[in-house]
């Protein structure tokens, strides 16, 4: 009952007027009926344990009026409890710092009597490291802890926590009411107690600095720099990629100042990054206790620290890096066999054939069984496709309509999320992945498909777990709604790993930690220029949130793709870690004519020929927590211009891609970081800065960082057929030296490649390379895209 009241009170004030609409928790921190407690002073502190107590001053939010204008105000207020002697007017609650690594500090604060739970979902195994290198110093008015990588100070009166980099430069600090320098009464670091149900939520408010930029929060399709925005971290179906909603919110962000934060909770969160007040970074966190990890360093360091805590993305199988051919949808075995035959007949390299919503007897009605009428020999089809180099992927979802034959079984066995009466909250039954019996039932269904030979399961939807629901573990959707995608990702990924020894799914929704279960695609992008551009922003944002692998529906999902758009979107998709054609039909290249089919083949063959580079960079990225579809700021953090770019990206560390987003325009302005860059299509060399550049045969701008050794293979019809014994080392260098890396499938070692220019050309300058690989050194002039 307590959980139900908690949720009801929150909804009443946060105004979720539509089912599964994202919550805006900032409204609870501007409600005149609520009571506020402002972090005021350090009541006690034990330096040896870095723990103590904080005094919170009671306050109220009220309408202040002056010169015919009413605005919000904050002021001290009296107790409203009776008998007053039984309750604290200004309570004192525990506060603690934990030092995780030399770059990571954890802040924990209570706002009442709270049960401490071990999280094994967002933090694998619930294991958090402890670092003893931080040195304590007593300072005037407070306490200081310092490592080789950063420093943190705790102030006593007024209370505050401030972070510094390794050179002593201030990064950010908690905001106290005394920090307000203007007429606007902004909420400082606080917590709120709602009048509706006495539930509490934390307002962790920090300072922002001039020219500070914020990145992350998951797959956000709005402007990449989140400063000035209000971001609601609540999983939802945004029905496209041009709204503020997110399939993949992640409670993590990083700042251009040199710090990042992970809000360790699954409750709804609203991040106000200077939206309401330019100097305040207000994190309105639904939880009644604060658990905040603060990371210090450059962007790469911050991602490494965050993914070291929440898990790094393991390597998916080699075949997953090939082309996935799909549409919504192939309805029969004949469809599948026909498309596969045409792909091979037309020499289109492909590794996966995906069957979307139409493989059941009734389209969209997921019962985990192939239609016997349209798939007379599904097992045989899967085996035959596999012999020809095609893996099979199948769509499914965790929602069951009343007409689904599995619906009575799910309801009768109580495998679904329930409402307060024990009934289903929606018309659909939604599987409850906190219920062990549900997990057993679901594993049996999915396991049967994997044992049949299916290679990957599309883990679609997952964003609509009932927020008012009561889950088998006793918690409500207040805590379980955002965790649902993580549980959903985990069960399918773990089962695939168990039965097929491969870590692969194709998922749409996420939460913190989902990066451990690759891979994820960008949802239902609009079939438009703006949809394409927003899709890239989302991918870059997700990559800045700890996800290494990502894909998207080439050409957009919502309409038949115009050929002009398809030509421009295709190289963007091919030069991503994972490549899938999907959406409204047709998606198959022959349906657009022979000229387009030839173009399609050329672009996909480029990806297959670059497989040594893509595989090597993917392995390196997975180990470092870096994205393959990479924002320029990660590689060039000292370049101010790189922090501004959101319509270009790096594939790994050395290939820069600038897609063409506007119909009829085959040139665009491109920003190049410092150094030299070589056009992969015409061989021209460019220095850093802005350039007007034109596309060549492939409708995208593709450049290689000068001094790069790009390993390359001869393209094949599937990754299974690639010949790794013959590797070209393409030298993109205008100097006397070039470097690169190479990893070979089946091995974990990443080898350095160093070439030195001699009289007769470039030569390998080191030993220890794979003995079963023959290398051919190729000048870039002989390897341009024509």
d(CA 699, CA 784): 14
SS3 content of the chain, % helix, strand, coil (to 5): 25, 30, 45
The number of C-alpha atoms within 13 Å of 107 and in the hemisphere containing its C-beta is: 22
- Provide the 8-state DSSP code for 314: P
The number of C-alpha atoms within 13 Å of 394 and in the hemisphere containing its C-beta is: 27
Beta strands of 80-134 (E only): which ranges? Answer: 92-101, 104-110
- Does residue 662 have an active-site annotation? no
Which CA distances in Å does 299 have to 106, 312, 688?
Answer: 18, 16, 21
Of the candidates 272, 301, 460, 605, the residue annotated as catalytic is 460
Token pair of 185 as six digits: 């009464």
In 71-183, where does DSSP find H-type helix? none
What SS3 state is found at 682?
A: coil
Token pair of 460 as six digits: 């679609």
d(CA 582, CA 353): 11
Token pair of 287 as six digits: 């939880």
- Does residue 335 have an active-site annotation? no
Lookup result for tokens 């009413």: 70
d(CA 282, CA 232): 12
d(CA 28, CA 15): 10
Beta strands of 346-436 (E only): which ranges? Answer: 352-355, 391-396, 399-400, 429-430
Of the candidates 242, 356, 463, 588, the residue annotated as catalytic is 463
Question: For the chain, first and last CA: distance in Å?
Answer: 68
d(CA 761, CA 776): 12
Whether residue 542 contacts residue 247, with contact meaning beta carbons closer than 8 Å, is answered with no
Q: Are strands 249-255 and 214-218 parallel, antiparallel or unpaired?
A: antiparallel
For 783, phi and psi rounded to 5 degrees? -125, 20
Can you give the length of the chain in residues?
A: 786
Q: What is the DSSP string of 9-39?
A: HHHHHHT--STTPPP-GGGGGG-TTSEEEEE
- Does residue 524 have an active-site annotation? yes
d(CA 348, CA 589): 9
Lookup result for tokens 């605005």: 71
Return the C-alpha torsion angle 178, 179, 185, 187, nearest 10.
Answer: -90
What SS3 state is found at 319?
A: helix
- Provide the 8-state DSSP code for 313: P
Helices 594-609 & 611-624 angle (0-180, nearest 10):
50
Of the candidates 242, 333, 524, 526, the residue annotated as catalytic is 524
Torsion sign over Cα 571, 572, 574, 579? negative
Q: Which residues are catalytic?
A: 460, 463, 524
């Amino acid at each position: 009952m307590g959980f139900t009241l908690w949720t009801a009170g929150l909804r009443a004030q946060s105004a979720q007027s539509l089912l599964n609409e994202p919550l805006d928790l900032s409204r609870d921190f501007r409600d005149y009926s609520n009571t506020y407690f402002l972090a005021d002073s350090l009541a006690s502190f034990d330096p040896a344990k870095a723990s103590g107590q904080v005094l919170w001053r009671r306050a109220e939010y009220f309408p202040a009026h002056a010169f015919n204008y009413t605005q919000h105000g904050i002021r001290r207020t009296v107790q409203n409890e009776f008998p007053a002697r039984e309750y604290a007017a200004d309570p004192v609650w525990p506060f603690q710092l934990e030092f995780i690594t030399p770059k990571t500090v954890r802040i924990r604060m209570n706002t009442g009597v709270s049960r401490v739970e071990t999280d094994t979902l967002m933090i694998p195994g619930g294991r958090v490291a402890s670092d003893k290198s931080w040195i304590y110093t007593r300072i005037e008015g407070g306490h200081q802890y310092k490592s080789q990588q950063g420093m943190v100070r705790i102030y006593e009166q007024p209370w505050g926590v401030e972070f510094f980099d390794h050179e002593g430069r201030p990064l950010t600090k908690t905001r106290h009411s005394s920090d307000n320098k203007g007429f606007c009464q902004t909420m400082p670091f606080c917590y709120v107690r709602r009048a509706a149900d006495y539930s509490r939520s934390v307002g962790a408010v920090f300072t922002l600095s001039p020219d500070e930029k914020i990145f992350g929060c998951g797959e956000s399709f709005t402007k990449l720099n989140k400063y000035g925005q209000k971001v609601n971290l609540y999983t939802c179906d945004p029905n496209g990629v041009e709204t503020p909603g997110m399939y993949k919110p992640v409670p993590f962000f990083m700042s251009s100042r040199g710090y990042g934060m992970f809000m360790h909770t699954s409750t709804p969160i609203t991040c106000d990054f200077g939206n309401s007040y330019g100097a305040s970074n207000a994190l309105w966190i639904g939880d009644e206790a604060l658990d905040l990890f603060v990371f210090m360093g450059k962007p790469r360091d911050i991602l490494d620290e965050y993914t070291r805590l929440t898990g790094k993305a393991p390597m998916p199988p080699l075949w997953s890096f090939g082309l996935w051919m799909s549409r919504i949808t192939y309805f029969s075995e004949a469809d599948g066999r026909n498309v596969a035959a045409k792909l091979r007949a037309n020499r289109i390299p492909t590794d996966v054939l995906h069957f979307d919503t139409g493989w059941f007897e009734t389209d969209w009605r997921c019962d985990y069984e192939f239609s016997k009428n349209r798939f007379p020999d599904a097992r045989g089809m899967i085996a035959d496709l596999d012999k020809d180099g095609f893996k099979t992927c199948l769509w499914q979802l965790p929602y069951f309509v009343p007409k689904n034959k599995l619906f009575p079984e799910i309801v009768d066995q109580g495998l679904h999320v329930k409402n307060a009466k024990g009934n289903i909250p929606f018309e659909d039954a939604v599987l409850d992945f906190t219920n062990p019996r549900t997990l057993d039932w679901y594993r049996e269904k999915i396991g049967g498909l994997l044992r049949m030979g299916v290679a990957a399961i599309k883990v679609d939807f997952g964003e609509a777990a009932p927020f008012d629901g009561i889950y088998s573990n006793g918690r409500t959707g207040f805590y379980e709604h955002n965790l649902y995608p993580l549980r959903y990702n985990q069960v399918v990924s773990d089962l695939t790993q168990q039965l097929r020894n491969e870590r692969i799914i194709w998922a749409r929704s996420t939460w913190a930690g989902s990066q451990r279960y690759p891979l994820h695609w960008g949802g239902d992008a609009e079939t438009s220029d703006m949809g394409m551009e927003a899709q890239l922003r989302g991918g870059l944002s997700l990559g800045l949130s700890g996800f290494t692998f990502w894909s998207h529906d080439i050409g957009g999902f919502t309409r038949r793709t115009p050929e002009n758009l398809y030509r421009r979107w295709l190289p963007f998709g091919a030069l991503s870690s994972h490549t899938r054609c999907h959406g409204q039909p047709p998606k198959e290249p022959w349906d657009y004519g022979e000229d387009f089919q030839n173009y399609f083949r050329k672009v996909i063959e480029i990806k297959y020929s670059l497989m040594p580079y893509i595989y090597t960079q993917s392995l390196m990225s997975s180990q470092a927590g870096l994205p393959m579809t990479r924002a320029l700021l990660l590689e060039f953090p000292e370049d101010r211009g790189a922090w501004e770019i959101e319509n270009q990206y790096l594939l790994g560390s050395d290939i820069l891609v600038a897609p063409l987003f506007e119909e009829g325009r085959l040139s665009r302005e491109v920003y190049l970081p410092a150094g030299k860059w070589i056009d992969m299509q015409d061989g021209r060399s460019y220095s850093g800065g802005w350039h007007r550049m034109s596309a060549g045969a492939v409708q995208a701008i593709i450049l290689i960082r000068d001094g790069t050794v790009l390993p390359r293979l001869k393209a094949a019809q599937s990754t299974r057929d690639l010949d790794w014994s013959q590797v070209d080392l393409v030298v993109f260098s205008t100097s006397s030296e070039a470097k690169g890396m190479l990893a070979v499938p089946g091995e974990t070692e990443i080898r350095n490649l160093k070439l030195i220019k001699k009289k007769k050309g470039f030569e390998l300058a080191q030993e220890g390379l794979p003995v079963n690989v023959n290398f051919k050194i190729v000048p870039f002039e002989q390897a341009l895209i024509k």
